Amino acid sequence: MVRAGLAPEIFERVRHILATKHNVSDLPNDTRLMWSERLDTIPEGLANKKRARVLYFVGCVGSFFPMVQNVPRSMVRIMQAAGVDFTTLYHQLISFVSNCLRGQSPP
């Protein structure tokens, strides 16, 4: 359908957003951690820790949509209370999505 030009117009808009912003929200990726701003304590290395036992993938919806940002905040509070060594998939995610959209294998 897409190749024949029969896909709904919204498909092209979503494809363009994913290709240029690398997320479904059409927001800049440098705001991907805005959900963490309302945490009592932002964990050290939340976005850039080199090694951790757990890699937490928040995703676009949890990152950018305020109505569900309590989900990643609650998950972080649980992991902090349990003493889990974790970080988030932040900078690596942008590269990963970009590669996937270009049809390349992830690094």
pLDDT in tens, 8-45: 888 888 888 888 877 788 888 788 899 999 999 899 88
Tell whether the model's pLDDT for residue 95 goes beyond 90. Answer: no
- SS3 annotation, 39-71: CCCCCCCCCCCCCCCEEECCHHHHHHCHHHCHH
Task: Determine the pLDDT at residue 38.
Answer: 93
Q: State residue 82's pLDDT score.
A: 97
